[in-house]
Amino acid sequence: MLTINDQHATNIIDFFEDLPDPRSEINRRHRLGDVIVIAICGVLANADGPTAIAKWANLNADWLTKHLKLPHGIPAKDTFRRVLTLLQPSAFQKCFSQWIDSLCFLTEEDKAEQKKHIAIDGKALRRSHDKKKDLGALMIVSAWASDHGISLGQVATEKKSNEIIAIPKLLDEINFEDAIITIDAAGCQKNIAAQIFNGGGDYILALKANHPLLYDAVHDFFNDHLEDEFARYPVSRYEEIEKRHGRLEHRTYYQATVPKDLYGRRQWAGFKTIGAAIRIYEQNGVEKTDVRYYLSSLRRNGKQFANGVRSHWGIENSLHWCLDMTYREDESRVRDRNFANNLSWLRRLTLSLIKQHPGKESNAMKRRMAGWSLGYLMQILTGQYI
């Protein structure tokens, strides 16, 4: 059996024992756990779909036979496709999450050191549209533990506008107690703020014109007090200067306790502070300024607020960009919704494992190396690094 070589000798397949097998019992030849473990290994080793997973498995059949039961040999590509199409995505993700937790990437000291940050954001699978069925590109809304590069869960939705519906479902699936949740303007909703606050978490929500009266009130507040550098109102301020691609970028963060007379103040659960992030940068030789506003349940702490905002911006590089560059996700033409959802979760799960490996190589190179070396693949798969 394929095991994690720690003191408990935990079996990977054990985490999938309670996963309902959606296949018909008639002519069912391959164990569900075997199919899933091979799929994980194949995707880690640079396979991008059922055909590639099956080819990788056949090339490594002797090694797999030593670790898995495989009563009828290596499953065919159609078996991988059928399983990934029929599996219930939320149950599939729950099993993965339990397995990731067992690998103990986060020490108790890490957990106690500071509030963890969870960024929630959506990404379209651009080529998953299906004109015949009048379906647009599938949107995957992900929860990403930014500080440690671990996928916590995802929910698929048909349209970007449906993120408002997807986010509460995603929050139901993950543990966010004592965490700071950051969400862009699509998730700046009263019910979402209440769900986070009542669930024991804190939020930083981007505020835009989808709440025009509140947005105007926050905009006017900061414009008024920035004129005299907050001489009349207490504020937490944090500044940073970063050199990017040979250009300087100056960012200033302001966080103030919610004014008692702010429009809509009592309508948001746990609402304690408002924030502004001002970014001054150069583009094509022209200096530009970008200002964004936020609502938060956190008390004033400029550095904490800045870290939350910056970490959320980072999800584009740490998750979405990696999925496109390392896995070529935007090129995937899978159109079946369940299949696309489960395959996208395999990408996020294996990317989480790759990011934990201490090697200096890029994510793409680590994935190639997992395809070249079964020993290296096992390091990533088990968290046992040499």
Residues constituting the chain: 386
DSSP character at residue 316:
I
In a domain, 309, yes or no: no
In a domain, 229, yes or no: yes
The domain in which residue 65 lies consists of 12-104+337-382
Looking at the 3D structure of the chain, how many domains does it have?
2
Based on the domain organization, do 91 and 27 belong to the same domain?
yes
3-state DSSP assignment of residue 74: coil
User: What pLDDT score was predicted for residue 256?
Assistant: 98
User: Which of 300, 329, 356 delimits the end of a domain?
Assistant: 300
User: What pLDDT score was predicted for residue 3?
Assistant: 46
Would strands 150-157 and 247-257 be described as parallel, antiparallel, or unpaired?
unpaired
User: What pLDDT score was predicted for residue 8?
Assistant: 35
Specify whether the CB–CB gap between 80 and 54 falls below 8 A: yes
The whole-angstrom separation of Cα 87 and Cα 89 is: 6
Based on the domain organization, do 293 and 342 belong to the same domain?
no
In a domain, 365, yes or no: yes
Those residues with Cβ within 8 angstroms of residue 233's Cβ, 6 or more apart along the chain or in another chain: 225, 256, 259
User: Which of 300, 324, 350 delimits the end of a domain?
Assistant: 300
Based on the domain organization, do 230 and 289 belong to the same domain?
yes
In a domain, 236, yes or no: yes
In a domain, 70, yes or no: yes
In a domain, 314, yes or no: no
Based on the domain organization, do 245 and 293 belong to the same domain?
yes
In a domain, 347, yes or no: yes
User: What pLDDT score was predicted for residue 194?
Assistant: 98
User: Which of 251, 276, 300 delimits the end of a domain?
Assistant: 300
Tokens standing for residue 345: 């979760």
Tell me which residues of the chain have a pLDDT lower than 50.
1, 3-10
In a domain, 224, yes or no: yes
Based on the domain organization, do 348 and 267 belong to the same domain?
no
Taking the alpha carbons of 173, 174, 178, 183 in that order, is the dihedral positive or negative? Answer: negative
pTM of the model: 0.88
Residue 295: strand pairing partners: 205, 274
User: What pLDDT score was predicted for residue 386?
Assistant: 63
Residue 42 burial class via C-beta count within 10 angstroms: exposed 0-12, middle 13-18, buried 19 and up: buried
